[in-house]
């Protein structure tokens, strides 16, 4: 397995990230989602995996975006983000790149004092990072299913009840 480096995405990476997302998902919906989230100013943290440990010109092998969720009521000071999408180049999957992107992202979010991360995905993959199955009776979201998993950073307890709104571009995903 060749080396890769996890780094913040640069504006100049946009075209390569789009190509990666179009290749990794069945439709361009996720590529369009990322573009709309960026344009709308919803991005909190965007990471890429670059081929070659110290090569700034390295090809992009993976991508991960975190966006801001709105917490209700407005006087609730907790900060929440959504992990989506995560993608690794089809020829480079199952080599640890997705795991490295998520681990680096969670570490950076914890360092910047985010409180809660949500992800809608396969618990077989996200459970390894400490995500818990969604609890629809306590998490009011547009996706009230166990696969909408949560993680409280820094071992903070999950609030008793949480109402979270997604950035508008997510509605276009259906």
Q: By the criterion CB under 6 A, which residues form the site for ligand COA?
A: 24-25, 85-88, 93-99, 121-122, 124-125
Residue number, 1 or 160, with CB nearest to ligand COA:
1
User: In the numeric block, which tokens belong to residue 124?
Assistant: 């077989």
Is 33 in a helix, a strand, or coil? Answer: helix
- CA dist 98 to 4, 160, 162, 164, 167, Å? 11, 31, 28, 25, 23
Nearest residue to the partner ligand COA, using Cβ: 98
Residue number, 78 or 93, with CB nearest to ligand COA:
93
Cβ contacts of residue 148 below 8 Å, gap of 6+?
Answer: 118, 119, 120, 134, 139, 141
CB of 140 to ligand COA, least distance (A): 21
CB of 92 to ligand COA, least distance (A): 7
Residue number, 73 or 91, with CB nearest to ligand COA:
91
Residue number, 147 or 168, with CB nearest to ligand COA:
147
CB of 158 to ligand COA, least distance (A): 21
Torsion of CA 34, 151, 137, 139, to 10 degrees: -40
Query: Angle, to 10 degrees, between the axis of helix 14-24 and the axis of helix 29-39?
Result: 150
CB of 160 to ligand COA, least distance (A): 27
């Amino acid at each position: 397995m060749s080396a890769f480096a996890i780094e913040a995405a640069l504006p100049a990476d946009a075209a390569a990230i789009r190509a990666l997302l179009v290749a990794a998902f069945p439709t361009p919906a996720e590529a369009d989602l990322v573009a709309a989230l960026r344009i709308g100013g919803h991005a909190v943290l965007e990471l890429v995996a670059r081929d070659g440990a110290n090569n700034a010109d390295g090809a992009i092998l993976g991508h991960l975006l975190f966006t801001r969720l709105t917490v209700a009521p407005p006087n609730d000071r907790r900060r929440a983000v959504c992990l989506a999408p995560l993608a690794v180049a089809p020829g480079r999957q199952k080599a640890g790149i997705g795991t490295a992107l998520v681990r680096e992202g969670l570490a950076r979010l914890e360092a910047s004092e985010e409180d809660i991360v949500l992800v809608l995905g396969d618990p077989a993959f996200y459970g390894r990072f400490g995500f818990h199955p969604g609890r629809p009776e306590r998490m009011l979201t547009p996706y009230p299913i166990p696969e909408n998993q949560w993680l409280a950073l820094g071992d903070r307890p999950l609030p008793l009840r949480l109402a979270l709104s997604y950035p508008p571009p997510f509605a276009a995903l259906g």
